């Protein structure tokens, strides 16, 4: 039996899985990334996570064909190189070759959001949609494009930076240095900042109450909980974020005319309809009228598994390409 | 010798060409569309244009393999159907089948901007850029995407509506009904409207002078001419349009990470650096910093020929696909 290893390397957690026949997750492991302890420690943690999912117990009479790994972008999937990952404190690091040497098996690196997009496309909410846009709304906002049934990387591996589409041209400064990016208006960090502004101005009492009265404990969980209890201020924050997300989706629909938008990420999952209702209204308003009937937005269905399932599928696809006869 | 017919069907003109070996234009014809005289007249004009380029003189010992035709979108290239073309006053018209019946040869229909994109990619400013975005700035703003060396149509044929990306979320009403689309801020009709607003407010004297003192003669030619003579008001109008174009390009770069943007269309060609300088500055400011070094914007090089050259190449490619062995 053939197995594939899959790793989703995040800024705070490393999610590892062993994927067996039938694309089933045989075993999984989650451990801290410990990026603050340096690159060697992160690599050791990746190797330990892989070790934890590949015991004699999990692999029976089989062999591991390779490893698919997702890391924060932008990265160069062809060279297997992480170009710039502030959360990992990495820059220009050839993760693929290092892991290949340590593990002695083929390793395939892709952008984590691209792999989550592939996972949702093949196994989740995106099934059957060969032209699909995946957007993850969590602390930041990322995305991945499936075009013609494949991950679309762009010319240099940088496609899908959906969080950095401008939605308020003269808006607040984003983490990237531009103004009014979608991420600066609708991400977890942006919504939290907006709530803290309210509280500083003497408003947002319900949100503060849910957070136990401490501004430092205000975050998306408290905001979502307050909104679920009917707090109009919290609801208004999530609806505004949803509207900006919808504006970006309208723009993307005009450019790519996909058959589906799949919305994942922790903030979107927690907020649910409190976010997506406004998204739908705003996207419909923004999309070119002749394309309006094609617009479809659904929540992601795989949660954290999307990344590892996509990583395994990507590794399988790349291995199959390597084994195909080459044109002369 | 094998020939391909190519037609670029516009709202005001029909451009026809016979393309011979070596992708050379053997003969060409331009005539009015006469959309106001109805669908039958437009069809007759297409047929007459084709007749004019396929005389015994132009075709020597050869046969015509098929016709590639570009029409305003959105359209359905798989069904060969024009869905909605206000300039032609057409809606849901199966142009491909009608022409196939009248001409007795295979006909391939695509969006006119997509074909111009293919033309610039294969023969013009985009050569070698397998992931390329073409934008045409003329009376309206359109676009076409070349992804992986092929026209990207989207799931339903509607991709590339670049003119309807929002650049000023609460901006003026666009022809499509939305607000602040790129087309409503930077197209020929938008720039003309901005100039007329100036003139109504008692400004824009140089523009009015170039137009012979008559507001009804103010259009992009007068505005560009005034700007070329150094008029700060005209320069400012073109620079503002260029900035909005750059903002849209920054967004598209973040989403698709192409290796090149090619800017065509009559207004862009006439305005040249008066438009594109501001475009470059603004695009560079908007693009995600890690992707900034990949940003490249150049003017189109084929002008009106892009459409027919792209149409012929598209027909050749589709014919080659039809002749390929089909998978079982």
For the stretch A208-251, pLDDT in tens is 999 999 999 999 999 999 999 999 999 999 999 999 999 999 99
Backbone angles phi, psi at A121, to 5 degrees: -65, -45
Spatial CA neighbour of A234 closest among A217, A216, A213, A220: A220
| pLDDT above 80: residue A60 | no
What percentage of chain B reaches a pLDDT higher than 70?
99
Burial of A324 (0-12, 13-18, 19+ CB in 10 A): exposed
Closest Cα in chain B, distance from residue A240 (Å): 14
Which residues 233-272 of A have a C-beta within 8 angstroms of B? 247, 250-252, 254-259
Strands A132-137 and A260-264: parallel
Q: Decide if B79 touches A, using CB distance below 8 A.
A: no
Assess contact for B164 and A288: CB atoms under 8 A. Answer: yes
Side-chain-facing half-sphere of A58: CA atoms under 13 Å: 20
Is A69 in a helix, a strand, or coil? strand
What percentage of chain A reaches a pLDDT higher than 70?
99
**Minimal Cα distance from B129: which residue of A?**
A155
Determine, for residues B129 and A155 on separate chains, whether the beta-carbon distance falls below 8 Å. yes
Assess contact for B249 and B135: CB atoms under 8 A. Answer: yes
Closest Cα in chain A, distance from residue B175 (Å): 10
Q: Decide if A325 touches B, using CB distance below 8 A.
A: no
Determine, for residues A129 and B290 on separate chains, whether the beta-carbon distance falls below 8 Å. no
**Minimal Cα distance from A177: which residue of B?**
B289
d(CA B83, CA B156): 11
d(CA B156, CA B77): 9
Q: Decide if B290 touches A, using CB distance below 8 A.
A: yes
The Cα-based distances of A2 to A76, A312, B16, B235 in angstroms read: 27, 12, 57, 65
d(CA A80, CA A97): 7
Closest in B131, B155, B160 to A255, CB measured: B160
The model scores a pTM over 0.90? yes
d(CA B149, CA B130): 4
B244 token code pair: 């909005």
**Binning pLDDT at 50, 70 and 90, where does residue B327 land?**
low
Tell me the ipTM for this assembly: 0.93
Backbone angles phi, psi at A217, to 5 degrees: -95, 5
Q: Could you report the per-residue pLDDT of A260-278, keeping only the tens digit for each?
A: 999 999 999 999 999 999 9
| pLDDT above 60: residue B328 | no
Say which DSSP state B173 is in.
Answer: B
Q: Could you report the per-residue pLDDT of A76-109, keeping only the tens digit for each?
A: 999 999 988 877 888 889 999 999 999 999 999 9
E strand segments, chain B: 2-9, 13-20, 24-32, 63-71, 75-76, 81-85, 90-93, 107-111, 132-137, 141-147, 150-151, 260-264, 297-299
Q: What is the distance, to the nearest Å, from the Cα of residue B44 to the centroid of all Cα atoms in its chain?
A: 23
**Minimal Cα distance from B173: which residue of A?**
A286
- List, in order of start, the domains of chain B with CATH numbers: 2-111 (3.30.420.40), 125-299 (3.30.420.40)
Q: Decide if A94 touches B, using CB distance below 8 A.
A: no
Closest in A156, A162, A167 to B255, CB measured: A162
**Residue pairs between chains A and B whose CB atoms are closer than 8 Å:** 137
Q: Could you report the per-residue pLDDT of B78-106, keeping only the tens digit for each?
A: 999 998 887 788 888 999 999 999 999 99
Closest Cα in chain A, distance from residue B225 (Å): 30
Q: Decide if B130 touches A, using CB distance below 8 A.
A: yes
Please list, in sequence order, all residues whose beta carbon lies within 8 angstroms of the beta carbon of residue A194, skipping any fewer than 6 positions away: A237, A240
Q: Could you report the per-residue pLDDT of B150-185, keeping only the tens digit for each?
A: 999 999 999 999 999 999 999 999 988 899 999 999
Closest in A254, A259, A288 to B155, CB measured: A259
| CA-based radius of gyration for chain B | 20
Please list, in sequence order, all residues whose beta carbon lies within 8 angstroms of the beta carbon of residue B95, skipping any fewer than 6 positions away: B69, B71, B80, B81, B82, B109
Determine, for residues B255 and A291 on separate chains, whether the beta-carbon distance falls below 8 Å. no
**pLDDT for position A326:** 64
Is B274 in a helix, a strand, or coil? helix
Assess contact for B81 and B110: CB atoms under 8 A. Answer: no
Assess contact for B18 and B25: CB atoms under 8 A. Answer: yes
Name residue, tokens 């984590």.
A112
d(CA B259, CA B263): 14
User: Between B136 and A175, where is the model more confident?
Assistant: B136
Determine, for residues A161 and B250 on separate chains, whether the beta-carbon distance falls below 8 Å. no
Closest Cα in chain B, distance from residue A109 (Å): 18
Q: Decide if B74 touches A, using CB distance below 8 A.
A: yes
Say which DSSP state B207 is in.
Answer: H
Q: What is the distance, to the nearest Å, from the Cα of residue A33 to the centroid of all Cα atoms in its chain?
A: 16
Closest Cα in chain A, distance from residue B289 (Å): 7
B311 token code pair: 């149409």
Mean confidence (pLDDT) of chain A: 94
**Minimal Cα distance from A289: which residue of B?**
B176
**pLDDT for position B282:** 97
A81 C-beta neighbours (distance < 10 Å), count: 18
**Minimal Cα distance from B251: which residue of A?**
A165
Backbone angles phi, psi at A148, to 5 degrees: 60, 30
Assess contact for B253 and B289: CB atoms under 8 A. Answer: no
């Amino acid at each position: 039996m053939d197995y594939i290893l899959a790793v989703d390397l995040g800024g705070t957690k490393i999610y590892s899985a062993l994927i067996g026949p039938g694309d089933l997750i045989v075993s999984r492991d989650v451990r801290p990334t410990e990026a603050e302890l340096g690159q060697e420690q992160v690599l050791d943690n990746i190797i330990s996570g892989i070790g934890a999912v590949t015991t004699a117990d999990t692999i029976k009479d089989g062999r591991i064909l390779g490893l698919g790994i997702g890391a924060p972008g932008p990265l160069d999937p062809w060279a297997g190189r992480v170009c710039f990952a502030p959360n990992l404190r990495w820059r220009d690091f050839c993760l693929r070759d290092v892991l290949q040497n340590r593990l002695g098996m083929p390793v395939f690196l892709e952008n984590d959001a691209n792999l989550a997009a592939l996972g949702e496309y093949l196994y989740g909410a995106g099934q059957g949609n060969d032209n699909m846009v995946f957007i993850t709304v969590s602390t930041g906002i990322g995305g991945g494009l499936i075009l013609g049934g494949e991950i679309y990387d762009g010319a240099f591996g940088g496609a899908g930076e959906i969080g950095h589409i401008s939605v308020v041209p003269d808006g607040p400064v984003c983490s990237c240095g531009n103004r009014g990016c979608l991420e600066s208006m609708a991400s977890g960090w942006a919504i939290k900042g907006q709530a803290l502004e309210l509280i500083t101005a003497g408003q947002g009492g319900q949100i503060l109450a849910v957070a136990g009265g401490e501004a430092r404990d205000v975050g998306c969980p408290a905001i979502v909980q307050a909104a679920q209890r009917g707090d109009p201020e919290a609801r208004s924050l999530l609806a505004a974020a949803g509207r900006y997300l919808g504006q970006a989706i309208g723009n993307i629909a005009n450019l790519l005319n996909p058959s589906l938008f799949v919305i994942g990420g922790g903030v979107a999952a927690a907020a649910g309809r409190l976010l997506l209702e406004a998204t739908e209204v705003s996207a419909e308003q923004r999309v070119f009228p002749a394309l309006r009937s094609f617009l479809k937005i659904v929540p992601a269905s795989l949660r954290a598994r999307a990344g590892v399932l996509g990583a395994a599928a990507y590794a399988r696809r790349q291995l199959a390409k390597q084994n195909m006869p080459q044109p002369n």
